[in-house]
Structure 1
Amino acid sequence: MGSRRRTGRTRRGVIAATACAAALAALTAGPAGAGEPDRRAPHWELKDTGTPDVRFRGLAAVGRNTAWAAGTAGTVLRTTDGGATWRNVSPPGAGELQFRDVEAFDARRAVVLAIGEGEASRVYRTDDGGTTWTEFRNTDPRAFYDCLAFFDHRHGLALSDPVDGRFRILSTGDGGRTWTVLPDRGMPPAQEGEAAFAASGQCLVTSGPRDAWVATGGAAHARVLHSADRGHTWRATGMPLPAGDPARGVFALAFRDRAHGLAVGGDFRPDRPSPRAAARTSDGGRGWRPAATPPPAYRSGVAWLPHSRTAALAVGPTGTDLTTDAGRTWRTVDAGSYDTVDCAPDHGCWAAGEKGRVARLEQ
């Protein structure tokens, strides 16, 4: 019995890896001719959300059929039919809030984060697909929460910009219903002006049961902070991405396991160049190497493609880039504007951004 189960998992893994390899080959093949893209190749296909005035920086891909998006004007949307229809499941009374992150466990359970000073920073949790929500409200006027991430269905963290000279971490053990501030003794001092960017819900990410990473910018040096004990102690590493200005730094991280990670960012101002806008690590973030061929402009979101050790997508206001060599080189494959990207194990990859834009990667 055990042998048959292992064989089944192996076969499914081979099928998934083969499908992913075929998709990547098609994606990098480029146009079909006469300047027209080959619609048979993987491409972003926009889904009509009916919300042209909303900017979605929070995104959670549950699968090819199910995804959640969170954005401005307190808006939370959910689809369970691959984007054909969207249900507005926004928490009541949240119209003035700016949602920047959403973490979804399935079609019914999700946690969303609103950013802002003091009580504008809130966390909402639903267990019934958005019909009802519970609320956690920050009461410290000095705190400004940017991102949240989960290790599993119960344990997660939320990140605030520095309070009393150190980044503040909230911890939950009940799936986001209640939160407590962790002691900051294990957090290194923040640099002057250092903060996290609430641009894509990816300034705080996790891998496995205990590892978490934080992306920073706005100071003399961009940094990534790593914790191996669910946020109690952290180690900071300098990054080769642009820094030295409040608009520059690391905007997003993605780890496919506890060792291999990608970082993207740059300068978010549209009239400023962003050289060295990507980096990679293979040792859990102790050391980072700049991409030999980085994305050509600022990027705010990044995600590994499912079941691949080498392929990932990065997105930003000026386009989508693909790497097929684990972040060494990047190539622009789409010119559409997106702020964030996320992929599910069943190859369901989604992107979201301004003007109500949500798209699914079609193959």
Structure 2
Amino acid sequence: MKRFVSFVFSLSLLVVACAPQIQPTVLPEVILPTATLPATEEPSVQPFAVDTPQGTPLPPEINAPIFESPSIINIEMLDEVFGWAMTEEKIIRTNDGGVTWYDVTPPGLTEAGYLAFTFFLDADHAWVQLPDMNRYPNGGTLYRTTDGGLTWEVFDTPFSGGSIHFVNESAGWTMADLGVGAGSMAVSIFKTADGGGTWERVYTNDPNIEGAGDTLPLGGIKNFILPLDADTAWVGGVTYAPGQTYLYRSGDGGKTWFNINLVLPEDSAESELSVVAIKFLSATEGFLALRKSSETPEILAYRTSDGGNTWEALDVEFNGYGILETPSASEMIFYAGDQFHVTNDAGVSVQQITPDIPFGNSVVDMSFANSQTGWVLFADASGARILYKTTDGGATWIQQSP
């Protein structure tokens, strides 16, 4: 799962209208005949399942209008077939790997794109949060769907925007941005237990708010929040101080935070370090990516087997700034310098792949379902964004839209 985290607070307030209820089509139940064994024979237990040729099933239709040739600005694929995306004005989704896109924009939402903070849990549950500039930074609007975008509910939020993440359909966290200045960033941590209907502030480091804490330092830019459950969450960021990392963990529901140290390469003392991604495969097994900015920028990878108490540096480095995708705790795809660097064993081995289309430095977003199947958004000379798909780890690509 991956969130879209982009907004421009200079844009005007969106007009929000409650979405009318649209009843999804109910398909009639199909009862298949059951094969009966002869009474004289004992059924044998097979050690493996035997496939019966039935052809490739068609994906279920979505009861929403098809959106032709979308100009996508962000994409989040959940697996090889289901995914969500955004244009500057629409929220769209696919159930056939990006071949067909359906318009599931909430009624009344006329502008989204770079304004929105989004989180897509699965094919049914999604959240879109937008700021109310008249109440910034203490007010916004949250759209929630539980049926794949066919219907939406609308809620007020006590924050205008920030990194949002749900661990299930009910429990979610938000790290709300309260303002950035001089290398510092004030935030408030909010939690919900009812799917976003109501939110409770559990922490803030803003000294202007009563009860502010200092365990999540004001200094440093916070890139993201990653909750694992109702109690445990991680915050990653960048301090802009050479040789220092911004990595914090909470184990009490966000009330207090503790710094987690990483063992850094000797040549990192003068480098700016930014935690750009964390993935956990289980409660104990996880993966972390650290961007090192210097004359020779690179991505450093770490792995944990004790829930993040300690992190082991992997013997893998990706040179350049580029774009990073981590579909799982063992898979990582890094694009830079017209090369895809792919690992599916947590960095034990890395394959360097040259795409058959020279994307150059014009890849603006990408989403991989796994180390083989992925999508990139390519910006052409006019600025238009074109969606391409690969099924072989980045070697060959086909254009999907527009």
In structure 2, the partner of 1:158 is 174
Partner of 1:55: 73
Q: Is the CA contact 1:65–1:81 (under 8 Å) kept in the aligned structure 2?
A: yes
Residues 193-244 of structure 1: CA distance to partner in whole angstroms, max 9, x if unpaired?
x1133xxxxx333435643222111432332222234433322224449798
Question: Which residue of 2 is the match for residue 263 of structure 1?
Answer: 288
Please list, as runs of the form range in 1=range in 2, the aligned pairs for 1:55-94 lying within 5 A after superposition: 55-56=73-74, 59-61=76-78, 63-70=79-86, 73-91=88-106, 92-94=108-110
**2:130 is equivalent to residue 110 of structure 1:** no
Counterpart in the other structure of 2:275: 250
| 8 Å contact from structure 2 (residues 173, 227) kept in 1 | no
Q: Could you tell me how far 1:248 is from its partner in structure 2?
A: 5.4
* Structure (1 or 2) with the greater helix fraction: 1
- 1:181 partner SS: strand
Aligned residues: 300
Matches within 5 A, 1:173-322: 173-184=193-204, 188-192=215-219, 194-197=220-223, 203-207=224-228, 210-220=231-241, 221-239=244-262, 240=264, 249-266=274-291, 273-305=296-328, 310-315=330-335, 319-322=339-342
CA separation in 2, counterparts of 1:76 and 1:319?
30
What stretches of structure 2 of length at least 5 have no aligned partner? 1-44, 50-66, 205-211, 380-384, 393-402
Please give the TM-score of this superposition, normalised by the length of structure 2. 0.60
Alpha-carbon distance between aligned partners in 2 of 1:122 and 1:348, rounded to the nearest angstrom: 37
Distance 1:187 1:348 in 2: 43
Is the Cα–Cα contact under 8 Å of residues 170 and 196 in structure 2 kept in the other structure?
Answer: yes
**Aligned counterpart in structure 1 of residue 347 of structure 2, from 327, 331, 346:** 327
Contact 1:59 1:103 in 2 (8 A): no
Q: 1:50 to 1:325 in 2, by over 3 A?
A: same
RMSD: 4.2
Contact persistence 2:238–2:245 (CA under 8 A): yes
What is the CA-CA distance between 1:274 and the residue it aligns to? 1.6
Greater relative CO, 1 or 2 (CA 8 Å, sep 6+)? 1
Instruction: Output one character per residue of 1:224-277: Cα deviation in whole Å (capped at 9) or x when no partner.
Output: 2222344333222244497988x8512222111222222235268xx9642344
| Superposed CA offset, 1:55-111 (max 9, x none) | 21x5250x332111246x244220012211112323433415525654334433211
Q: What does residue 191 of structure 2 align with? A: 171
Query: Measured at CA, do residues 286 and 299 of structure 1 come closer, stay the same or move farther in structure 2, by a change above 3 Å?
Result: farther
Q: Which residue of 2 aligns with 1:43?
A: none
Deviations 1:256-312 (A, max 9, x none): 1222222235268xx96423443333332233344322112225443244xxx7443
Q: Which has the larger radius of gyration?
A: 2
Offset of residue 155 of structure 1: 0.3
Indicate how the Cα distance of structure 1 residues 312 and 244 shifts in structure 2: closer, same or farther if over 3 A, else same: same
CA distance in 2: counterparts of 1:351 and 1:149, whole angstroms:
22
Q: Whole-Å Cα distance in 2 between the matches of residues 313 and 326 of structure 1? A: 11
Q: Within 1, Cα distance between the matches of 2:310 and 2:284?
A: 11
122-131 or 233-242, which moves further after superposition? Answer: 233-242
Q: Secondary structure at the match of 1:118?
A: coil
1:341 is aligned to 367
1:125 and 2:144 are equivalent in the alignment: yes
CA contact (8 A) 2:123 2:148 kept: yes
Distance 1:144 1:110, change over 3 A: closer
Q: C-alpha separation between the residues in 2 aligned to 1:275 and 1:333?
A: 17
Query: Displacement, 1:135?
Result: 3.8
Aligned with 1:257: secondary structure? Answer: coil
Cα displacement string for residues 151-189 of structure 1 (whole angstroms, at most 9, x for unaligned residues): 211101112346697542121112233323223467614
**TM-score, length-normalised on structure 1?**
0.65
**Identity score, percent:** 21
